[in-house]
């Protein structure tokens, strides 16, 4: 193979291809600052503005990489040049070439952490001592193409002056491919059977990663110094607080918003609550109270695109509710003091009543406060305001028949649709000494039809006993006899 100086033509072609591909894939990562605009007097309006340096992060990392490249090559040179380092062979005349541009990728890795990685490519060219079967005057020359990554663990700091800090720099070798530059068959065999497995296997991977990680502290400090101008851009307005940090392929974004506002308390809302006395009892007003809250800041952004959920906005309860005596029977006065002055106060009416049960029924009363000529939900006091309400009530009730309870007490529910009409009548009949009694009506003539279920039922007399019970009854004993109660139910013939 033709060589140029100490570097083979194949190595040059390989290096040019790697460098060309990496330069074309060079990623640009910017620094973006988003600022929320929000006012407590208009809480539903929330906008953002953004300022951005489209290449601030990648420019800083590139400057650090320019300093890191020679340090990494020197670490590889020292580790590979040790005697017997390559499968028992000693390497010499080592040349290390790494790409001038490393591809940068940034992503979120945790609640307060980002990750960045630099995709590195290049090659190492070197000569090796030979086994005794090969003439020592002709040492094999070869190159090792490298692909690797430099991983940067970035944490988000509470300090506004240093938003981003690199905590660790770690080298990871992805692949090492050996290419021989000698024509001798014996040398090719030695390279293929001895050196190639070493460089393509775990031993060289451990050697290279260990060598570069040994200078990891220096690399971490180097990249942190390079991030200083980026942190300066991400500092944000001094009168605002940082709301979030995101790492994306195109930019590291930091969002800021106003500090939480303190509501100007001192406002008052007062008025009358009326209800229909024909439908609701006196004292209905005592079932209700009015609570107020105000929004004290914007809803935090969910992503750098400006998306937010209004329900996440911070809120604070304000006001003290008081019922006042009223002379009218169907209204009462109230006062809500200590609400925010000039801010929209959100109102919520809460009932103090709940579900009640009586026997087999459960009922509940639900009260609703409706604004009398206004929406009933929001009020702005300047510093006081009068607002009236109309109280509406709805009663919800349900009857409950518990089959288990019925069986437990040994009783049959007459309203059970599974019971036939005749069976229902039978369950209402009871035996008494004078005969059978059906309901509590007048005497029923013998042979007449049975009254419909639910109607008044006649009483049966002894004269009708044969009709009701075909077995003859024994004669009545003397009323004064102690055996009367037993003989009344003694079967005939005993």
- The residue with greater pLDDT, 328 or 462, is 328
pLDDT of residue 219: 95
Q: Mean pLDDT throughout 218-222?
A: 95
- The residue with greater pLDDT, 431 or 27, is 27
Distance between CA atoms of 181 and 293, rounded to whole angstroms?
A: 79
Q: Mean pLDDT throughout 385-405?
A: 71
pLDDT band at 21 (very low <50, low <70, confident <90, very high): very low
- The residue with greater pLDDT, 246 or 288, is 246
Phi and psi based region of residue 75 (left: phi greater than 0; alpha: psi -120 to 50; beta: remaining): alpha
| One domain, residues 137 and 60 | yes
| One domain, residues 291 and 167 | no
| One domain, residues 390 and 284 | yes
Residue 51 lies in a domain: yes
Phi and psi based region of residue 16 (left: phi greater than 0; alpha: psi -120 to 50; beta: remaining): alpha
| One domain, residues 373 and 429 | no
Q: Mean pLDDT throughout 214-218?
A: 92
Residue 209 lies in a domain: yes
pLDDT of residue 442: 38
Question: Nearest Cα to 37, choosing from 270, 340, 239?
Answer: 239
Q: Which pTM was predicted?
A: 0.66
Residue 10 lies in a domain: yes
pLDDT band at 398 (very low <50, low <70, confident <90, very high): low
Give the list of residues 6+ apart from residue 428 with CB closer than 8 angstroms, or none: 414, 438, 439, 457
Distance between CA atoms of 204 and 199, rounded to whole angstroms?
A: 5
pLDDT of residue 183: 53
Distances (CA, A) of 53 to 58, 63, 222, 230, 241: 10, 16, 22, 9, 21
pLDDT of residue 328: 67
Give the domain extent around 443: 419-483
| One domain, residues 375 and 278 | yes
pLDDT at 47 over 90: yes
Residue 58 lies in a domain: yes
| One domain, residues 212 and 304 | no
Residues in the chain: 494
Weakest-pLDDT range from 358-362, 416-420, 485-489: 485-489
Residue 337 lies in a domain: yes
Residue 347 bridge partners (DSSP)? 292
- The residue with greater pLDDT, 223 or 415, is 223
Query: How many domains in the chain?
Result: 3
Residue 239 lies in a domain: no
pLDDT of residue 389: 94
How is 148-160 classified by DSSP, letter by letter?
EEEEEEEEE-S-G
pLDDT at 234 over 80: yes
Residue 246 lies in a domain: no
Distance between CA atoms of 239 and 390, rounded to whole angstroms?
A: 45
| One domain, residues 343 and 457 | no
The pLDDT tens digits of the residues spanning 179-211 come to 876 655 456 666 777 777 888 888 889 999 999
| One domain, residues 395 and 424 | no
Examine the fold and report which residue of 399, 432, 455 is the final residue of a domain before the chain moves on: 399
pLDDT at 15 over 60: no
Residue 407 lies in a domain: no
- Report phi then psi at 12, rounded to 5: -65, -45
Distance between CA atoms of 453 and 353, rounded to whole angstroms?
A: 40
| One domain, residues 64 and 178 | yes
Calculated CA dihedral for residues 325, 331, 336, 342, nearest 10 degrees: -140
- The residue with greater pLDDT, 415 or 128, is 128
- The residue with greater pLDDT, 424 or 251, is 251
pLDDT of residue 215: 93
| One domain, residues 8 and 140 | yes
Examine the fold and report which residue of 210, 233, 256 is the final residue of a domain before the chain moves on: 233
| One domain, residues 335 and 471 | no
Phi and psi based region of residue 454 (left: phi greater than 0; alpha: psi -120 to 50; beta: remaining): left
Q: 420: buried, middle or exposed (CB in 10 Å: 19+, 13-18, 0-12)?
A: exposed
Indicate the average pLDDT of the chain: 76
pLDDT band at 265 (very low <50, low <70, confident <90, very high): very high
| One domain, residues 119 and 173 | yes
Examine the fold and report which residue of 233, 256, 280 is the final residue of a domain before the chain moves on: 233
pLDDT of residue 172: 94
pLDDT of residue 43: 95
pLDDT at 327 over 90: no
């Amino acid at each position: 193979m033709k060589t140029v100086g100490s570097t083979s033509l194949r190595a040059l072609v390989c290096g040019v291809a790697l460098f060309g591909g990496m330069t074309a894939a060079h990623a640009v990562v910017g620094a973006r600052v988003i600022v929320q605009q929000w006012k407590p007097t208009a809480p539903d309006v929330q906008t953002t503005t953004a300022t951005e340096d489209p290449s601030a992060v990648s420019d800083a990392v590139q400057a650090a990489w320019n300093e890191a490249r020679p340090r990494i090559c020197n670490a590889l040179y020292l580790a590979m040049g040790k005697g017997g380092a390559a499968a028992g062979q000693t390497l010499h005349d080592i040349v290390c070439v790494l790409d001038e541009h490393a591809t940068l990728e940034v992503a979120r890795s945790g609640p307060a952490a980002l990750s960045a990685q630099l995709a590195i490519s290049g090659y190492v060219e070197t000569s090796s001592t030979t086994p005794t079967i090969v003439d020592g005057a002709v040492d094999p020359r070869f190159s090792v193409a490298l692909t690797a990554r430099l991983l940067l663990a970035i944490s988000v700091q509470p300090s506004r002056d240093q938003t981003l800090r690199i905590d660790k720099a770690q080298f990871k070798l992805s692949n090492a491919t050996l290419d021989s530059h000698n024509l001798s068959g014996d040398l090719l065999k030695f390279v293929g059977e001895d050196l190639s497995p070493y460089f393509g296997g775990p031993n060289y991977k451990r050697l290279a990663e260990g060598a570069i990680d040994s200078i990891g502290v220096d690399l971490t400090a180097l990249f942190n110094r390079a991030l200083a101008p980026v942190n300066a851009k991400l500092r944000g307005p001094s009168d605002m607080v940082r709301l979030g940090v995101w790492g994306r392929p195109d930019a590291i974004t930091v969002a800021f918003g106003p500090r939480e506002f303190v509501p100007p308390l001192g406002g008052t809302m007062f008025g009358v609550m009326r209800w229909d006395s024909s439908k609701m009892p006196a004292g209905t007003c005592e079932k209700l109270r009015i609570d107020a809250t105000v929004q004290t800041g914007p809803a935090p952004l969910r992503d750098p695109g400006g998306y937010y959920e209004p329900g996440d906005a911070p809120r604070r309860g304000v006001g003290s509710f008081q019922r006042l005596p009223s002379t009218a029977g169907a209204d009462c006065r109230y006062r809500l003091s200590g609400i925010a002055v000039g801010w929209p106060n959100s109102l919520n009416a809460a009932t103090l009543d709940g579900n009640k049960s009586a026997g087999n029924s459960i009922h509940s009363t639900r009260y609703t406060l409706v604004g009398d000529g206004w929406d009933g939900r929001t009020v702005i006091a300047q510093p006081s305001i009068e607002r009236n309400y109309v109280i509406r009530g709805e009663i919800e009730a349900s009857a409950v028949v518990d089959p288990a309870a019925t069986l437990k007490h040994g009783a049959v529910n007459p309203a059970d649709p599974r019971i036939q009409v005749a069976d229902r009548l039978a369950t209402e009949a009871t035996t008494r000494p004078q005969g059978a009694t059906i309901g509590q009506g007048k005497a029923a003539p013998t042979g007449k039809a049975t009254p419909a279920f639910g109607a008044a039922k006649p009483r049966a007399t002894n004269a009708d006993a044969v009709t009701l019970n075909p077995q003859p009854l024994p004669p009545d004993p003397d009323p004064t006899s102690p055996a009367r109660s037993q003989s009344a139910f003694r079967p005939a013939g005993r």
